[in-house]
């Protein structure tokens, strides 16, 4: 069952779909069905129906009438990033809130970064961020339920020799106060600005998304979703990475360099 709980952005194949029909003012339901069937011949009708529904819900497909759609136009191309949580992820957070009454924090999966990257990471992991005073308690609650899959603030050696060899690991980290988050299904998850800054700021933890891959991720994130540069740099400043991030952004083509955040 967990294998089917693929993160929605990756499952929707939005970037591929948009590129495939970029020059068509209109497309039919049959064309969308055919697109998904070419990528996944075994996909069930209900799965494809859900994807079409989710694309329209997010505003990525615009309904023009029965069985007719258009891609969101150039003037509408930026959307708020809204990841999809699996039932396992939702249950983990709800358990922590119920047992520990967490005041803040967030949960997210590195699988969400695959929507923006050129290469798909071989392994993904779940990150649970909670206030510093709750880190130990959260670690033990998760350890009781998920045994060897849970790691507390792993150092580079642990990441290399243990986390990398673990199936679906869960990493418990301290939450940076006032980090930009949003609610999805009553679970706090990062806004896209936070995800990008975290990928940039923790190269050991997110080793699969560094170098050229990181540049591609930032470029695709800006290309398809709304990004608030001030929020991006403000959070980077809280992580003591704002100057480095500015230099990184200055090297990216087509990235706006308008921020004067000090």
Question: What is 27-67 written as a DSSP string?
Answer: EEHHHHHHHHHHH-TT--HHHHHHHHHHHHHTTSEEEEETT
Indicate if the pLDDT at residue 5 is higher than 50.
Answer: no
Lookup: tokens for 42:
């075994």
Q: Please, what is the average pLDDT of the chain?
A: 86
Least confident of 102-111, 136-145, 231-240, 248-257: 248-257
The beta-strand segments (E) located in the chain are: 27-28, 61-65, 68-71, 106-109, 126-130, 150-152, 170-174, 181-184, 187-190
pLDDT higher at 6 or 249: 249
Alpha helices, H only, 155-211: 156-161, 192-201
Q: pLDDT for 73-94, tens place per residue?
A: 544 445 678 888 999 999 999 9
- Mean per-residue pLDDT, 26-30: 86
Res. 173: pLDDT tops 90: yes
At residue 197 the predicted structure's pLDDT band, cuts being 50, 70 and 90, is very high
What is the tens place of the pLDDT at every residue in 34-57? Answer: 898 888 888 888 888 888 888 888
Q: For strand 150-152 and strand 61-65, is the pairing parallel, antiparallel, or unpaired?
A: unpaired
Q: How confident is the model over 120-133, as a mean pLDDT?
A: 92
> Which of 120-129, 132-141, 220-229 ranks highest by mean pLDDT?
132-141
User: What are the backbone angles phi and psi of residue 150, rounded to the nearest 5°?
Assistant: -105, 135
Q: Is the pLDDT at 136 greater than 70, yes or no?
A: yes
pLDDT in tens, 139-155: 999 999 998 899 999 99
């Amino acid at each position: 069952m967990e294998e089917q709980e693929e993160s929605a952005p990756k499952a929707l194949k939005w970037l591929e779909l948009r590129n495939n029909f970029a020059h068509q003012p209109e497309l039919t339901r049959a064309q969308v069905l055919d697109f998904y069937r070419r990528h996944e011949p075994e996909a069930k009708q209900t799965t494809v129906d859900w994807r079409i529904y989710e694309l329209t819900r997010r505003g990525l497909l615009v309904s023009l009438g029965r069985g007719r759609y258009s891609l969101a136009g150039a003037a509408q191309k930026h959307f708020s990033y809204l990841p999809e949580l699996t039932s396992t992820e939702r249950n983990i957070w709800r358990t922590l809130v119920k047992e520990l009454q967490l005041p803040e924090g967030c949960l997210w999966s590195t699988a969400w970064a695959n929507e923006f990257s050129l290469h798909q990471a071989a392994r993904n992991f779940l990150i649970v961020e909670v206030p510093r005073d709750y880190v130990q308690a959260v670690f033990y609650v998760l350890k009781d339920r998920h045994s060897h899959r849970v790691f507390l603030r792993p150092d580079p050696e642990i990441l290399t020799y243990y986390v990398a060899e673990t199936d679906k690991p869960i990493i418990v980290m301290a939450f940076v106060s006032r980090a930009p988050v949003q609610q999805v299904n009553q679970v706090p998850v990062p806004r896209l600005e936070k995800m990008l800054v975290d990928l940039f700021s923790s190269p050991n933890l997110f080793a699969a998304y560094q170098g050229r891959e990181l540049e591609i991720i930032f470029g695709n994130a800006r290309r398809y979703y709304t990004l608030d540069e001030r929020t991006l740099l403000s959070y980077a400043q809280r992580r003591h990475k704002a100057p480095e991030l500015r230099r990184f952004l200055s090297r990216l083509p087509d990235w706006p360099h308008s921020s004067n955040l000090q």
